[in-house]
Chains A and B, each alone.
Chain A
C-alpha cells in the first residue's frame, strides 16, 4: 500500500540521529512545560520559533510534535499528585487522580496515565495515517448545532461530580458558568462582568481558574485544618505500579478514551479539553463501579488521559489535511509552517510528503520516547508526596503563582488565582463541590457560543437542533446521560 511505503519513508526521515535528538528534546521540554501550570505547548513553540529559523522544517516539526505530546502527558503528573493541572486538558485527571493519590494509589494513577497516553498516541497516529483525508472532509460538516450538542454532553458530566447535594452542585455549576461569562463576548463584542477592569476583558483563563479553585483552594483548606504533627505521610498501598485488577479496568478505558479523543480532536471547534470531559462522562456511565467515581476510580484517569493525547493526534488531521488549525498549539504550528514558506492546505499531503510522513512517524517515536522517559520516573514523582505538608503546600502555591505569572507577564492572573483560591476555601467549608464549578468555567463559553452561533445559522429558529440528525442525536445522548443513571436505579429497585 501507498501509505505504508510513505510511512516507511517517514520513519527513514525521522530516525536520523539528528532528528531523534530533536524529538527527544521536544518530549523532555514538553513534559517539563506540561508540569508547569500556565506555560502551554503553544507558548513554548512560539518562543522557540526564532531559534528554529536555521533548522530544516522537518527537524523543527519533529521537535514541535514532541513538545505537543509531551505537554499532554506532563500536565497529568502534577494534576494527580498535587491537584495542580498544568494544562486545561489535565483538569479532569485531577478529579479521580488526586483521590487515587490520597488513597495511596498515586503510582497506579501515574502509570495508567503514562501507558494510556502511549496507547492513545499509537491509536491516534494510526488514525492520522489511515483516515486523515476522510475524517477531515467529515469534520467540516460539523457545524454549530452539532457542536452545541457535543459541548452540552460534556457539561452533563456534572451529574457525576456533584457529590451528595444536588442544589449545592447546581450552585457550583452556576458559579462556574458565571465566572466563564467574564470578558468580551465573541458574538457582539460587548464586555460582560468586567466592571471596567481592562485585565478582565480577556476573561478568566481556564488554567488559572482550575489551579486557583483546585490547587490554591486545597492548599488553603489543608493549611487551615493541618494537624501539628508532620509525620502524616501517604504510603503507597500495594504495588507501586498497577495491580492486575487495575490493568483489567484500565485497558477498555484507554481504548474508549483513545477513540473518543481522536474523533473529538479532529473537530476544529472542540479540542482536547472537551475530549477529556466527554471521556470522563463516558467512563462514569460505562463503569461497573460508578460509586467509586469521586473517590478515585482508575477509569476516570485512564480514559481522559488517553483522550487528551489522542486529541492532540486528532488535531493534526485538519492541520495537515486541510490547513485548518484545530487547537491553539496547531495554530502556532501553522504559523511556523508559514515561516518556512510552506502553506498548509488541502494539497499539503501531496506537495510535502517528506515533511508530513516524517512528522507522523516522529509523533509515533515521540510517544515511545515518552513512555520510556516517564514509566521509570513514576517512582521518583511519587516521592513528592513524602515532602512534609507545610513545605509541599508552600511549594505548590509558589509553583502555581510563577506559572500564571509567566503565562501573561502580569499580576492580574495572580490576583484571580488568589481570589478563586479563597472562594474555593469557603466552598469546601460549606460542603459545596469544586469540580462542577471548574466544569462550568471550562464548558460555559463553548456551550454558549455554539448555542448562539447555531441560532444565528438557523436564522433564529430553535428547531435547527432537531432538524439536523447529528445534533438531535447528541441532544438525545445528553438526556440519556442526565436521566439514565436515575432511571437505571429505579428499574433495578423494581426488579
Chain B
C-alpha cells in the first residue's frame, strides 16, 4: 500500500496542476462567483454523463466562466438517487446544477421517489435523441408496418428487447402496442442492462425487434448487421433515410430528451443568470458540432416553458407506464 501512495498523490497533483492551467484568468462576473458543479445522476459513460461533460468542456474551454467546472457522478435508479441528493443536500446551493431527462421523469414514478422534479427549479431543455426500432439484418420484417401487423395478429410472436423495464425504450414499445391495440399484459419485453447486451441480442436474433438510441446502433446498420425500421422523431434524422413512425402510419413520437435543473431555493435572478449562461453555451461552435456528431437535436427550451413541458411529460410517462403494467 505504501508503495502506491506517492504515485496516487503525484497523479492527483498532476491533475490539479493541469486543471489549474486550463482555467482562464478570473474576470469580474456576478455569476458564477465560485466553482460550478454539474451533478450527473448517472454512472460515467451514459447520456447524462456525456451531456454533463460536454457542458463542462464548453463552459471552461470557451471561457464562458472563469471558475473551475466539476462533474460529479451520482448514479443509479434512473437518476432518482442523484435527484434525492440534489434536493436534500444541495438545497439553496446556486452553484450546483443537475443534468436530467425523460428517463428520470419515468423513474420518479417507477421508484416511488420521495422527492420529485417539482422541488427543483427548471433551467432548460437542451438536447433530444431519437429512438429507433430495429430488427436483425436477416429478419423477414422489412417495414414497421410488417412488424406491427404480425404483432397485432399474434402478440406472442414478437419478443421486444431494449433497456431496463420502465425506461424510454419500454415506453416506446408500450406506445406502439397501444397504437395497434395490443394490451399491456400481452407485451413480451426483455430488459437488458447495458447497451452491449441489447445489441448482441438483436444482431444475434435473440429477440424479434429491439429499441434503442439512434447513434448507439447506427454503426451496426452501416455494417449490415441490423436494419432500422423506424425512428421516433417528428422528422427523419439528417443524413439518414429511415422513415419516422408517423410516416409508417402510426401516430407515435417519443424522444429521449435531456435538460438541466437548478437546486431548490434558487432565486429568479440566479435562475436567469444560469439560463443566460446556457444560452451562450448553446451558441458555441463546440456545442453545435458535438450535437451534430452525436445526432442530438437542439431542442432548447428555457425557463418556465420548460417547467410546463416537465409537467406534461410527467403525465405522459405516468399514463404509459400504467398502461404497460409497470406502474400499478
Contacts and interface: CB of A to CB of B under 8 A. Distances in A.
Contacts of A198: 77, 80-81, 84, 111, 113-114
Contact of B76 (A201, A326, A330): A201
Contacts of A190: 326
Contacts of A181: none
Contacts of B326: 188-190
Interface stretch (B50-58, B90-98, B240-248): B50-58
Q: How large is the interface on A (under 10, 10 to 19, 20 to 34, 35 or more residues)?
A: 35 or more
A346 B165 contact: no
A344 B80 contact: no
Interface string B179-221: 0000000001111111111011101101100000001001110
Interface in A127-181: 139-144
A143 B206 contact: yes
Given A187-B165, A201-B77, A384-B1, A453 B111 contact: no
A72 B177 CA distance: 45
B207 to A, nearest CB: 7
Nearest to B4: A32
Interface stretch (A49-57, A295-303, A355-363): A49-57
Contacts of B166: 189
A42 interface: yes
A186 interface: yes
A385 interface: no
Contacts of A457: 159, 190, 206-207
A456 B160 CA distance: 9
B44 interface: yes
Contacts of B196: 268, 318, 324-326, 330-331
Given A189-B164, A325-B195, A347-B219, A409 B56 contact: no
Interface string A190-205: 1100000011011000
A322 interface: yes
B156 to A, nearest CB: 5
B7 interface: yes
B267 to A, nearest CB: 27
A245 to B, nearest CB: 30
A21 interface: no
Interface in B40-64: 43-46, 49-50, 53, 56-57
B116 to A, nearest CB: 13
B165 A140 contact: no
A332 interface: yes
Interface string A360-382: 00000000000000000100100
B74 interface: yes
A451 to B, nearest CB: 12
B222 interface: yes
A169 to B, nearest CB: 29
A248 interface: no
30 contacts: A29-B11, A32-B4, A42-B44, A43-B44, A46-B45, A50-B53, A142-B204, A143-B204, A184-B77, A184-B110, A187-B165, A189-B164, A190-B326, A198-B113, A202-B76, A268-B194, A323-B220, A328-B194, A331-B196, A335-B46, A338-B50, A343-B219, A344-B219, A345-B222, A346-B225, A395-B1, A409-B72, A453-B192, A456-B188, A457-B207
Closest 6 CB pairs of A and B: A345-B219, A46-B44, A189-B166, A346-B223, A140-B204, A202-B76
